[in-house]
């Protein structure tokens, strides 16, 4: 059996053999089986001498078919199949000349050679063997015998190599007529594509046989890093100045003094001084900041027609139930709610009657009535009072608290917080004819009982003629010193009355000295139902904080005018018309505890002095000093003292048949005094928006409107409002375009008038003009005084001269 | 109402009627402005020099009189 190794060896040998010129020898290995089949058993059929065996081709092929791969002829299968002859020669190779024990001769010629001249070959072999043995001894020269050339196949090679002509040459002969040679040549163009088959194209085509597939290619590679651009945004925190704290350079004191005293500075100042002076003078001469254009516009609006000045009747309120035969003593607007006005109704008696009747019970209820613009027929709210109220005030910090001064000297407090909403909604109710018919929708105005009244022994002895709240930044303590009120609400009241007393009241729970807490509790009783208990602590035991006796008056002081330092709020306490009630107005200067008073007395005297509450050594009670100046201007009791809302040192006083304007600090007299008129002046009020305008009410029902800039000697306009005496005037700014004037009269009717724009809107420089006017008047007054003195002196001189002359 | 200050050209106040912080502020700012104004005038005409500087604003008028070493500043409120 052939192993792979043997097979390869066999092939190797075959290749070797073919190289050395014996390509037809194929060494084979015959197994015993094969030897039996082909009868070429070693040492039986074939021997060393008789080594040739002819085997038929068909037998071999048969053997190949039967034994296939295991047949010994398998490696030479192809050779056998291709063998042209019928019999193949197999030669026993005893010497293993060709590698195996048998070899196959593949070609006929070789076979012949082997069969025939093997003898010679054998002989040659023998000879060569012999020669080999023999040449060792002697090599005898033997002349070579010429042999016949034996063809070994070389003539074939020669034949192959030699060049012979295979192709018989073809002879052609061309001839042409001679004249055709040398003829001029004419070339023409001809398009090859026009004629069919005129040209033969040899187009290129891709011959796949010649396309070489590149299996190997030389490629150069360079390693280069890939360049990539990338960017990212980072939060680069870099220090940046957020704030810099610095302090300025400053010269030390010595340096400063040195430079101040240096010569250079002096020279500088002299040279610069002139320039600066010129500039300052220029500024003095002309006001560079004056806006001519704006001023021009203002002038146009202020020059209105005379006929345009009016007080338009807006509404009038009266109530048949409560206000029959009653006089309205005081009118106040609600500070915050639009269109609510309150009035206090009193008996329509003359003074004497009132005093006589004061002991008897008043059958008619005393009320404060609230009206709203939306409903002129039905009052919104009615406050019950124990007695007639002569004056009342809304608390500036809390409009739901109302303080009123009674006829008998008591102070009464109301708290209407429950009804605040009703008052606020009052404006949404519209008045129409259907409203009258529908009785169900009409509700009775709620009656509010008073919360607290002061104790009778602590209050005034006679009517409280004026009542005011102290401003919310200010309070007074027991000893009379004033200090700052941190609570920012109004907690203190001041009242005055003809009994010479000015009382300070405090609405907080005060610790009265010497009273134990349980005693206080005893005094507190349950309030009647429906009354808020805001002032429960005051109840019946409310006593004034400070009682100031104005000792220098026989009769009673009543009016106040507080001019307080920080904000210069004016509390002008207006006095009513009752006789025996002097008025006093106080205005404070810049220091807390010193007050300057303008006191207007009952007889028309105006007193101007310092007022300081000090403790009287005798009685231990605070008293005030003696007055410094006295003026008698008014013929009757002064009923109005009011500080101008624009100028803190201008005071208007109205009384009797004239009015006067005073200025604080001017002690010579009033800066303006009106001439006496036919009717009495009953009340007066400054306009809230125009500095030079004020309203005066008369007892014939007229209102005089005075404009100091237009006509200082007579009213610029007057208008009749009602038939009876005007008792109170109160203007109110409802909106920048709308101003109302509430006028109450003696017959219980409250008229609300709308002030025309001319009277309500001031021009830009009006205040300055009015101020100028007042200053002029002051100067005139001073000059007048001087002139009078001069006149008096001259007169005395003249008289003395006269005397001397005559004597 | 007028206020008055004297300054060194370096901007340090020597004498003033105002409070310190306002003075220092005016000093620093007006010093620079004066120098700028002066250099403007001289740039246009080198023979020229700044004699007086007046700044009118809504609320005040500031008048500056410069010199070689010193500066005089007056702040004036309007007439009314």
* Chain B CA closest to residue A249: B12
* pLDDT band with cut points at 50, 70 and 90 for residue B39: very high
The beta-carbon contacts of A472-480 under 8 Å, at least 24 apart in sequence, are A472/A396, A472/A397, A473/A564, A473/A566, A473/A567, A474/A564, A474/A566, A475/A506, A476/A504, A476/A545, A476/A546, A477/A545, A478/A545, A478/A546, A479/A615, A479/A622, A480/A546, A480/A548, A480/A593, A480/A613, A480/A614, A480/A615, A480/A622
Q: What is the pLDDT at residue B38? A: 92
Residue with tokens 């500088």: A268
Flag if B12 and A250 touch (Cβ within 8 Å): yes
- Closest CA relative to residue A649, chosen from A584, A714, A570: A570
Mean pLDDT by 10 residues, chain A (807 residues): 56 57 70 74 70 76 77 74 77 74 75 65 53 57 81 83 83 87 83 76 79 81 86 83 82 80 84 86 78 69 57 79 78 83 73 52 68 81 82 83 83 82 66 40 67 74 74 64 65 71 70 40 45 55 63 40 26 24 31 42 55 46 55 69 77 80 75 79 84 86 85 82 85 82 84 81 77 85 85 86 70
From CA A786, how far away is CA A798, in angstroms rounded? 18
Flag if A249 and B11 touch (Cβ within 8 Å): yes
Buried b (16+ CB within 10 A) or exposed e, A108-134: beebebbeeeeeeeeeeeeeeeeeeee
Dig out the tokens for B55 from the structure.
């700044």
pTM of the model: 0.52
Give the best residue of A257, A276, A285 to mutate against chain B (max B CB count within 10 A).
A276
Q: What is the pLDDT at residue A440? A: 37
Flag if A260 and B14 touch (Cβ within 8 Å): yes
A275 contacts on B by Cβ (under 8 Å) = 51-52, 65
Flag if A268 and B70 touch (Cβ within 8 Å): yes
Q: What is the pLDDT at residue A435? A: 39
Flag if A264 and B69 touch (Cβ within 8 Å): yes
Residue A464 is given by DSSP the state: -
Judge whether A603 and A632 are in contact, CB under 8 Å: yes
- Closest CA relative to residue A249, chosen from B68, B20, B38: B20
Dig out the tokens for A160 from the structure.
């192959």
Burial of A483 from C-beta contacts in 10 A (0-12 / 13-18 / 19+): exposed
Flag if A248 and B15 touch (Cβ within 8 Å): no
Q: Which residues pair with A729 in a beta bridge?
A: A743
B27 contacts on A by Cβ (under 8 Å) = 248
Q: What is the pLDDT at residue A515? A: 37
- Closest CA relative to residue A458, chosen from A523, A519, A541: A541
Flag if A251 and B12 touch (Cβ within 8 Å): yes
* Chain A CA closest to residue B80: A287
Flag if B12 and A289 touch (Cβ within 8 Å): no
List alpha helices for A453-547, DSSP H.
Answer: 517-523
* Chain B CA closest to residue A283: B79
Partner residue facing B67 (CB), from A256, A268, A287: A268
Q: Which helix (DSSP H) or strand (DSSP E) does residue A63 occupy?
A: helix A57-67
In degrees and rounded to multiples of 5, residue A655 shows phi and psi of -170, 150
Partner residue facing B52 (CB), from A248, A279, A768: A279
* Chain A CA closest to residue B21: A248
Residue A573 is given by DSSP the state: P
Judge whether A459 and A386 are in contact, CB under 8 Å: no
Q: What is the pLDDT at residue B37? A: 94
The interface predicted TM-score (ipTM) is: 0.76
Residue with tokens 């398998």: A74
CA A78 from chain centre, in angstroms, equals: 107
Judge whether A656 and A681 are in contact, CB under 8 Å: yes
pLDDT in tens, B6-19: 766 577 888 888 88
């Amino acid at each position: 059996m052939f192993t792979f190794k043997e097979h390869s060896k066999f092939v190797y040998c075959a290749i070797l053999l073919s190289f050395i010129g014996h390509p037809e020898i194929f060494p084979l290995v015959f197994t015993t089986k094969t030897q039996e089949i082909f009868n070429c058993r070693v040492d039986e059929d074939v021997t060393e001498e008789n080594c040739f065996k002819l085997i038929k081709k068909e037998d071999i092929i048969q053997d190949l078919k039967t034994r296939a791969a295991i047949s010994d002829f398998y490696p030479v299968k192809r050779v056998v199949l291709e063998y042209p002859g019928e019999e193949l020669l197999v030669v026993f190779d005893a010497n293993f000349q060709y590698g195996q024990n048998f070899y196959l001769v593949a070609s006929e010629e070789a076979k012949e050679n082997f069969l025939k001249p093997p003898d010679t070959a054998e002989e040659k072999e023998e000879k060569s063997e012999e020669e080999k043995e023999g040449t060792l001894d002697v090599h005898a020269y033997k002349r070579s015998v010429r042999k016949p050339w034996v063809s070994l196949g070389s003539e074939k090679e020669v034949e192959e190599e030699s060049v012979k002509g295979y192709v018989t040459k073809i002879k052609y002969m061309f001839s042409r007529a001679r004249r055709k040679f040398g003829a001029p040549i004419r070339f023409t163009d001809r398009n090859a594509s026009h004629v069919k088959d005129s040209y033969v194209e040899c187009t290129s085509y891709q011959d796949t046989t010649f396309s070489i597939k590149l299996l190997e290619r030389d490629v150069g590679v360079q390693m280069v890093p890939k360049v990539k651009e990338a960017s990212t945004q980072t939060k680069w925190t870099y220090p940046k100045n957020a704030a810099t704290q610095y302090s300025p350079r400053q010269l030390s004191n010595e340096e400063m003094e040195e430079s101040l005293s240096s010569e250079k500075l002096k020279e500088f100042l002299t040279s610069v001084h002139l320039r600066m002076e010129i500039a300052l003078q220029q500024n003095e001469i002309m006001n560079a900041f004056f806006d001519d254009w704006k001023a021009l516009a203002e002038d146009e609006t202020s020059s209105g027609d005379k006929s345009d000045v009016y007080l338009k009747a807006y509404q009038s309120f009266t109530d048949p139930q409560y206000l029959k035969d009653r006089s309205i003593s005081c009118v106040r607007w609600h500070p915050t709610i639009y269109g609510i006005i309150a009035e206090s109704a009193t008996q329509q008696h003359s003074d004497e009657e009132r005093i006589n009747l004061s002991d008897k019970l008043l059958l008619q209820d005393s009320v404060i009535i609230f009206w709203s613009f939306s409903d002129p027929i039905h009052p919104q709210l009615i406050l019950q009072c124990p007695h007639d109220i002569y004056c009342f005030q809304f608390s500036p910090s809390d409009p739901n608290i109302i303080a009123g001064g009674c006829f008998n000297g008591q102070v009464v407090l109301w708290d209407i917080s429950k009804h605040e909403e009703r008052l606020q909604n009052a404006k949404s109710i519209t008045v129409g004819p259907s409203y009258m018919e529908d009785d169900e929708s009409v509700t009775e105005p709620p009656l509010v009982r008073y919360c607290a009244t002061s104790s009778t022994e602590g209050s005034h002895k006679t009517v409280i003629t004026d009542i005011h709240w102290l401003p919310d930044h200010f309070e007074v303590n027991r000893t009379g010193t004033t200090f700052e009120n941190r609570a920012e609400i109004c907690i203190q009241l001041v009242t005055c009355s003809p009994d010479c007393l000015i009382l300070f009241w405090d609405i907080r729970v005060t610790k009265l000295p010497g009273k134990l807490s349980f005693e206080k509790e005893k005094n507190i009783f349950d309030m009647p139902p429906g009354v808020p208990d805001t002032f429960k602590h005051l109840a019946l035991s409310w006593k004034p904080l400070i009682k100031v006796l104005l000792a220098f008056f026989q009769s009673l002081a009543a009016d106040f005018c507080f001019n307080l330092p920080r904000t210069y709020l004016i509390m002008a306490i207006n006095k009513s018309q009752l006789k025996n009630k002097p008025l006093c107005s106080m205005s404070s200067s810049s220091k807390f505890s010193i007050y300057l008073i303008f006191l207007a007395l009952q007889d028309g005297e105006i007193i101007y002095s310092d007022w300081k509450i000090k403790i009287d050594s005798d009685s231990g009670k605070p008293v005030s000093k003696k007055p410094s100046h006295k003026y008698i201007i008014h013929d009757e009791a002064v009923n109005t003292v009011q500080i101008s809302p624009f100028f803190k040192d201008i005071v208007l006083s109205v009384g009797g048949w004239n009015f006067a304007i005073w200025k604080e600090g001017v002690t010579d007299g009033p800066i303006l005094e009106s001439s006496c008129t036919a009717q009495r002046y009953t009340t007066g009020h400054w306009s809230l928006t125009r500095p030079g305008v004020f309203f005066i009410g008369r007892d014939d029902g007229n209102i005089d409107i005075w404009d100091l800039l237009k006509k200082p000697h007579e009213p610029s306009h007057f208008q009749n409002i009602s038939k009876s005496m005007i008792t109170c005037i109160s203007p109110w700014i409802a909106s920048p375009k709308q101003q109302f004037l509430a006028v109450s009269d003696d017959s219980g009717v409250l008229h609300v008038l709308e002030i025309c724009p001319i009277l309500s809107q001031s021009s830009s420089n009006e205040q300055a003009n009015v101020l100028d006017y007042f200053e002029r008047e002051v100067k005139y007054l001073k000059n007048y005084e001087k002139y009078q003195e001069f006149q008096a002196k001259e007169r005395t001189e003249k008289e003395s001269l006269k005397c001397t002359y005559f004597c | 109402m007028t206020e008055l200050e004297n300054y060194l050209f370096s901007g340090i106040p020597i004498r003033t009627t105002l409070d310190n912080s306002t003075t220092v502020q005016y000093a620093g700012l007006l010093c620079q402005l004066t120098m700028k104004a002066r250099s403007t005038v001289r740039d246009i005409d080198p023979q020229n020099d700044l004699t007086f500087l007046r700044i009118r604003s809504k609320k005040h008028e500031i008048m500056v009189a410069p010199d070689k070493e010193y500066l005089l500043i007056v702040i004036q409120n309007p007439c009314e």
